[in-house]
Each structure stands twice: as structure tokens, then as C-alpha cells.
Amino acid sequence: MYEGVDLSRVPRHVAIIMDGNGRWANARGLHRTQGHAAGEPALFDVIDGALEMGVKWLTAYTFSTENWSRDEYEVEFLMHFNVDLLQRRRDELHAKGIRIHFIGDRNDPRVPDDLRKRIEDAEELTRGNEAMHMVFAFNYGGRNEIVAAVGEIAAKVRAGNIEPEDIDAGTIAAHLYLPEMPDPDLVIRTSGELRTSNYLLWESAYSEYVFTPVLWPDFDRHTLAECIVEYQSRNRRFGSAEDLSVPPRRGGTDSPAGDRD
Ligand code: IPE
Ligand code: IPE
Ligand code: MG
């Protein structure tokens, strides 16, 4: 089924930049938004594949802090699409034992109230699930995430709860949107673009990157498996001279990867 994948060594956390929906649609004479709609079955096939292969954390970039600069119609479509998707798919994810999380600025006044409510409901409903964690990076920006963490830490310093000299990488990691999320082992970007576009800047310090030319709506569990095979061919050294198959702990300056589920 998953040709070539060593199921005893699947990455614990796979983070995906789902890119190329607009180009997929353009190539078919469709509107960009139809490309986003075509990306939904791709995502849900990838979720099923990840679950079957034993990935414990899957993160998908659904809307960046920079995506507000798109035209009003596309932004509105994407907001509504997220509401609709949660409404239609939440119970299915719950039935599979998947825990839903959102990272990003959900309190931004531009985020519609009904979406904020559905996000909270989905997180609450699935809180006890353990089969896999599905993280939606929505209104997410890596720089904003670090800025928010620094702000919270500064407030604690002012209140006298943290001494400035005690701040280290672990302090920042503990104030990110989802502190229990392990760092991604593998970051995949589709559509041939070779950049991070502000995705998981802190968390991906030691991630392996796989870039594929496949446009997101054409991606599925099999392309995911190919990316995992590529990941498994890499030596992860974390700055040492040897291949370290078990990543060290997250947070500290010498500890780029997570050790939690
Ligand atoms: C990714 O596809 C989806 C979102 C950013 C929401 P794009 O819409 O960026 O597609 P391209 O890159 O224009 O083809
Ligand atoms: C990154 O893709 C954001 C998401 C996939 C949600 P973009 O298409 O927005 O990134 P750029 O503009 O090509 O850097
Ligand atoms: Mg794009």
C-alpha cells in the first residue's frame, strides 16, 4: 500500500504547505476558488494515509497572515470554506479518534465569529482523542507566533514572574500557540515553490524539507508516502557528526526536535 515506507520509522510530525490550488484551477480554466475546493479531498486522503502509516501529528497550512492580501472574494471564500469544512468534516475526524487543534491568531477581528466558534467547538469535542493530532494553521504566521510568545513573556517579566536571565529557548517554545506540539520532523511543500512562506519558523529549525512539484489538489496519500520515503533516506544529524535516529528534546539550544506525542 505505502510502497517503500519503513513503518517503524515514520516521522512523528508531518507539516504540509498545501500550495498550488490557484494554478491547478487556472490550468483547467476554473476560478482559483475551485482549486481550493479541489484541495479538500486531497487533504482528507492525506489525513487517512497519515493515520494509517502511524503519523501522530499532522499540520496543514490553510491560511497565512499574508493571505489577507488576496482579493476580497477569495478571502471571503476561504473564510466560509473553513466554516463549512468544519461543519461537514468535524464529526468524521472525531469518529476516527483525531484530535483537532488550530494554531494562528483566531482572535483577529477579521476572523468571522461563527468560524471562531466552530474552531472552539471542534477543539472541545475532540479533546480526549489520541489516534492522531490534526493541526490547522489558520491565520497563522511564524513571525506573529514568536511576537505573541515574546509579548507574553515580557508581561510575565513585568509582573515579576520570570527573571530575564532565566529566559531561554525552552521559554519561547513554552509560549508558542501549541506548546505540546512536537517540532515537525518533515515539512512538505507542494507546487514547486522553494520557500517557507512564514510557516512554523521556530518549530522547523531542524526539520527535513521535501519540495514536490505536485499541485496540492493532485496530492494524496501515495504522494505523502513518497515524501516519507525521501525523508527516510536522509541523515538527521542535528549538528552532530553522526546520524541521530532519535531526535533530542525540543526547546533548548541543543534540542531542536520534540520527544512528545
Ligand atoms: C494554496 O494555494 C492555498 C492557500 C494559500 C489558501 P494557492 O491559492 O496559493 O495556489 P497558487 O499558489 O496560487 O497556485
Ligand atoms: C502559503 O502559500 C500559505 C498557505 C498554503 C496557506 P502561499 O501561496 O500563500 O505562499 P506564497 O505567497 O507563494 O509565498
Ligand atoms: Mg500559493
Tens digits of residue pLDDT in 148-191: 999 999 999 999 999 999 999 999 999 999 999 999 999 999 99
* pLDDT-based confidence at residue 260 (cuts at 50, 70, 90): very low
Average pLDDT, the chain: 94
**Hey, what's the cell of 198?**
512564514
> Domains plus CATH for the chain?
10-141+184-238 (3.40.1180.10)
| Protein residue whose Cα sits closest to atom 3 of ligand 1 | 19
Give 256 Cα–ligand 3 centroid separation in angstroms.
Answer: 28
Note the pLDDT tens digit of each residue in 3-25: 999 999 999 999 999 999 999 99
Ligand with minimal distance to 16 CA: 2
Note the pLDDT tens digit of each residue in 51-91: 999 999 999 999 999 999 999 999 999 999 999 999 999 99
Please say if the pLDDT value at position 200 is more than 50. Answer: yes
Sequential DSSP letters for 118-180 = HHHHHHHHTTT--SEEEEEEEEE-HHHHHHHHHHHHHHHHHTTSS-GGG--HHHHHHTSS-TT
Please say if the pLDDT value at position 246 is more than 90. Answer: no
| Ligand 1 lined by 198 (C-beta under 6 Å) | no
Mean pLDDT of 100-112: 98
Give the atom of ligand 1 at the shortest distance from the alpha carbon of 24. Answer: 14
Low-confidence winner among 88-97, 125-134, 192-201, 250-259 (lowest mean pLDDT):
250-259
pLDDT of residue 20: 98
For ligand 2, pick from 66, 135, 215 the residue to mutate: most ligand atoms within 8 Å of CB.
66
pLDDT of residue 244: 83
* pLDDT-based confidence at residue 1 (cuts at 50, 70, 90): confident
pLDDT of residue 243: 87
Mean pLDDT of 250-261: 46
* pLDDT-based confidence at residue 193 (cuts at 50, 70, 90): very high
Give the atom of ligand 1 at the shortest distance from the alpha carbon of 32. Answer: 8
Ligand with minimal distance to 64 CA: 2
| Ligand 1 lined by 20 (C-beta under 6 Å) | yes
| Protein residue whose Cα sits closest to atom 8 of ligand 2 | 19
Contacts of 5 (CB under 8 A, 6+ apart): 53, 225, 228, 229, 232
pLDDT of residue 248: 52
- Positions annotated as catalytic residues are 19, 67
* pLDDT-based confidence at residue 245 (cuts at 50, 70, 90): low
Please say if the pLDDT value at position 252 is more than 50. Answer: no
| Ligand 1 lined by 255 (C-beta under 6 Å) | no
| Ligand 1 lined by 63 (C-beta under 6 Å) | yes
Instruction: State what percent of residues in the chain have pLDDT above 90.
Output: 92
Ligand with minimal distance to 32 CA: 1
| Ligand 2 lined by 227 (C-beta under 6 Å) | no
| Ligand 1 lined by 251 (C-beta under 6 Å) | no
Q: What angle do CA 130, 136, 139 make, to 5 degrees?
A: 150
- CB neighbours of residue 237 within 10 Å: 11
pLDDT of residue 254: 43
